RNA sequence: GGAGGGGUGGCCGAGUGGUUGAAGGCGCACGCCUGGAAAGUGUGUAUACGUCAAAAGCGUAUCGCGGGUUCGAAUCCCGCCCCCUCCGCCA
């Protein structure tokens, strides 16, 4: 959400920023509503002031046993006028607020121009895609051949876009998550959190999924929503709080299931477990002072990259272009992992700085250390560190052998009880 | 799910219709005192919005949230949220 004052002073900057995203200008509409809202507010406040005044006089007159009738008549008249104004004021205020909630964040100047993902820029890459002396298979085929990845049975109980992992693959997924959590909580300084998976609409409004993207979410009959990412739960850990500046930055990580309706993705990535309704992810969230957030984004991205390196998975870092950066972010790096079975790079992590965009929506502030007066909005960042399901895919495809077995990367062996090879033919279920 | 109790400033806590943004205390800041410190003592100590070129000042709102009653609400009424206690159910 944007600062209204800033929009008043920089309407053209807002519209120009929206144009970079390919979005329509809104400043004129905002300013018109805001102007009418403030005019109404001022008018109302004059009446309120007068009413408070006269009411005090009535108290005084009555205390002395005088006749307050004329004064009461005056207040009655004032109140008449106030009723309509109050309604108007409230309505205009709500209109301004709801419009503000639909305006995306302003991109930083470093974000490359471009309309869609084809204009994203490769920042750096790591690792060399392995040379295969056979034709590498896709993860869904590998998993099925191992007998440990079952889409059919998942469909019977849950429908499309679900998967059942069994035996060594179920364990592999857990091992991957453990490696990530252990790395982030020790080497990278993040605090592990186990947050709620069901949240209220205010939490989702705070992080920006609502009000615009409700169609992507699963909502329960009780009105709560399943989180589409732990970013929601973790970032809301600072909602409505005033933090002590000395405690910043806060770094937290959580391993959670994520739920997405994939409403707009019919027909895309229908094979395999690339795009499921339910998947697991280790999320990273940082809360920083404003001047630290850009450096923190670099740091966070490096933390995510570290996991890919440990797993010996080639990847590249993409700077998303203006048209591809998400609603709440001012800048985003995607990590794309090499998938030999699909002969392409696929997104496995997305690290974003939202600046004070989310902080304003959830009223997350801090008091700069040393200062006793005044608060400022914090900056919030989030990144996948990494998407666990997609990491599993990458491990399968990159570490597959000609016979369909999977070599367990060294970093995962301790978490696999020393298992070195996941081989076909295990008797399972 | 049933019954009851409660949500006041950074914290504790008073306040059941009238000049209360809110007593008192703690904490914090600054000063006095002291060789220095403690103790003592004095002063100050919320947020948002509006007005203003800006500051000061002024105005408005805020005692969980929203609505209502009233000339006037932290105080009365209604709805919601949250917390606590007991009962029931339950991993």
Do A128 and A259 belong to one domain? yes
Q: What is the CATH number of the domain that holds A56?
A: 1.10.287.40
Do A314 and A376 belong to one domain? yes
Amino acid A311: pLDDT = 98
Do A290 and A241 belong to one domain? yes
What's the whole-model pTM score?
0.91
Q: What is the DSSP letter of A404?
A: S
Distance A119 CA to B10 C1' (A): 49
Distance A290 CA to B38 C1' (A): 40
What is the rounded distance in angstroms from the CA atom of residue A12 to the CA atom of residue A29? 12
User: For the segment A89-142, what is each residue's pLDDT rounded down to a tens digit?
Assistant: 888 888 888 888 899 999 999 999 999 999 999 999 999 999 999 999 999 999
Distance A91 CA to B4 C1' (A): 39
Amino acid A66: pLDDT = 76
Do A90 and A178 belong to one domain? no
User: For the segment A317-375, what is each residue's pLDDT rounded down to a tens digit?
Assistant: 999 999 999 999 999 999 999 999 999 999 999 999 999 999 888 888 887 766 655 67
Q: At what angle do helices A388-398 and A139-146 cross, to 10 degrees?
A: 80
Q: What is the DSSP letter of A159?
A: -
What is the rounded distance in angstroms from the CA atom of residue A331 to the CA atom of residue A194? 27
**Is residue A107 in a domain?**
no
Before A39, cis peptide (omega within 30)?
no
The ipTM is 0.80
Do A307 and A231 belong to one domain? yes
What is the rounded distance in angstroms from the CA atom of residue A400 to the CA atom of residue A378? 45
Do A90 and A135 belong to one domain? no
**Is residue A345 in a domain?**
yes
Average model confidence (pLDDT) across chain A: 91
**Is residue A91 in a domain?**
yes
Task: Band the pLDDT of A246: cuts 50, 70, 90.
Answer: confident
Give me the residue label for tokens 């450096």.
Answer: A295
Give me the active site residues of A, please. Answer: 260, 275, 347, 350, 390
**Is residue A257 in a domain?**
yes
What is the rounded distance in angstroms from the CA atom of residue A60 to the CA atom of residue A66? 9
CA of A71: nearest nucleotide by C1' is B71
* Residue ending a domain, choose from A101, A131, A150: A101
Do A76 and A169 belong to one domain? no
Length of chain A: 429
Do A222 and A306 belong to one domain? yes
Can you list the alpha helix ranges (DSSP code H) found in A64-138?
Answer: 69-100
Gyration radius of chain A over CA positions: 27
| Residue at the smallest CA–C1' distance to nucleotide B17 | A59
Amino acid A84: pLDDT = 82
CA of A46: nearest nucleotide by C1' is B59
User: Both tokens of residue A314?
Assistant: 């080639």
Do A130 and A209 belong to one domain? yes
CA of A41: nearest nucleotide by C1' is B50
User: Domain total for chain A?
Assistant: 2
CB A274 within 8 A of CB A390: yes
Amino acid A372: pLDDT = 56
Range of the domain at A377: 117-422
Do A36 and A84 belong to one domain? yes
What is the rounded distance in angstroms from the CA atom of residue A388 to the CA atom of residue A396? 12
Chain B: positions less than 7 Å from a protein CB are: 10, 18-19, 28-29, 45-51, 59-61, 67, 71-72
- The full DSSP string for A302-337 is HHHHHHHHHTT--EEEEE--TTTS-TT-SEEEEEEE
Instruction: Pick A390 or A199 by higher pLDDT.
Output: A390
Distance A242 CA to B16 C1' (A): 33
Task: Band the pLDDT of A247: cuts 50, 70, 90.
Answer: confident
The footprint of strand B (CB < 7 Å) covers A 4-5, 38, 41-42, 45-46, 48-49, 51-56, 58-60, 62-63, 72, 75-76, 79, 90, 242, 372-375
CB A424 within 8 A of CB A145: yes
In this model, does residue A300 exceed pLDDT 90? Answer: yes
| Least reliable range by pLDDT among A42-51, A174-183, A372-381 | A372-381
Distance A239 CA to B22 C1' (A): 27
Q: What is the CATH number of the domain that holds A398?
A: 3.30.930.10
Amino acid A132: pLDDT = 95
CB A420 within 8 A of CB A180: no
CA of A35: nearest nucleotide by C1' is B50
CB A349 within 8 A of CB A260: no
CB A277 within 8 A of CB A259: yes
Task: Band the pLDDT of A197: cuts 50, 70, 90.
Answer: very high
* Residue ending a domain, choose from A51, A69, A101: A101
User: For the segment A80-91, what is each residue's pLDDT rounded down to a tens digit?
Assistant: 888 888 888 888
CB A226 within 8 A of CB A220: yes
- The contacts of residue A254 (CB under 8 Å, 6+ apart) are A192, A193, A194, A195, A230, A233, A234, A282, A283
**Is residue A274 in a domain?**
yes
Before A249, cis peptide (omega within 30)?
yes
User: Both tokens of residue A94?
Assistant: 């709500």
């Amino acid at each position: 959400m944007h600062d209204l004052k800033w929009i008043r002073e920089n309407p053209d900057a807002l519209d120009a920023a929206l144009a970079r995203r390919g979005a329509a200008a809104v400043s004129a509409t905002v300013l018109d509503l805001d102007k009418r809202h403030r005019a109404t507010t001022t008018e109302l406040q004059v009446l309120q002031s007068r009413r408070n005044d006269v009411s005090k006089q009535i108290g005084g007159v009555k205390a002395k046993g005088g006749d307050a009738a004329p004064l009461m008549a005056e207040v009655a008249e004032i109140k008449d006028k106030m009723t309509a104004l109050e309604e108007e004021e409230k309505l205009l205020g709500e209109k301004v607020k709801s419009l503000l909630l639909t305006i995306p964040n302003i991109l930083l100047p470093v974000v490359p121009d471009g309309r869609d993902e084809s204009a994203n820029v490769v920042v750096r890459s790591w690792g060399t895609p392995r040379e295969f002396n056979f034709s590498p298979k896709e993860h869904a085929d590998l998993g099925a051949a191992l007998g440990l990845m079952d889409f059919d049975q998942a469909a019977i109980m849950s429908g499309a876009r679900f998967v059942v992992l069994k035996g060594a693959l179920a364990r592999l997924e857990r091992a991957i998550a453990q490696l990530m959590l252990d790395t982030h909580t020790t080497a990278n300084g993040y605090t592990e959190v186990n947050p709620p998976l069901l949240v209220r609409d205010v939490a989702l409004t705070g992080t920006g999924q609502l009000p615009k993207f409700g169609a992507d979410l699963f909502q329960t009959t009780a009105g709560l929503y399943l989180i589409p990412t732990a970013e929601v739960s973790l970032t809301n850990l600072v909602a409505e709080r005033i933090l002590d500046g000395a405690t910043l930055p806060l770094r937290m990580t959580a391993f959670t299931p994520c739920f997405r309706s994939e409403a707009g993705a019919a027909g895309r990535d229908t094979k395999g477990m690339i795009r499921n309704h339910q998947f697991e992810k280790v999320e990273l969230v940082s809360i920083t002072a404003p001047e630290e957030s850009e450096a923190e984004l670099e740091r966070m991205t490096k933390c995510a990259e570290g996991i890919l390196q440990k797993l010996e998975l080639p990847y590249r870092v993409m700077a998303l272009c203006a048209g591809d950066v998400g609603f709440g972010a001012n800048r985003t790096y995607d990590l794309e992992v090499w998938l030999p079975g699909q002969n392409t790079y696929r997104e496995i992590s997305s690290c974003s700085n939202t600046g004070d965009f989310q902080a304003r929506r959830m009223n997350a502030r801090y008091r700069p250390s040393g200062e006793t007066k005044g608060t400022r909005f914090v900056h919030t960042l989030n990144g996948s560190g990494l998407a666990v399901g997609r990491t599993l895919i990458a491990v399968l495809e990159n570490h597959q052998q000609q016979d369909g077995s999977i070599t367990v990367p060294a970093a995962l062996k301790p978490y696999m009880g020393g298992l070195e090879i996941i081989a076909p033919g295990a008797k399972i279920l």
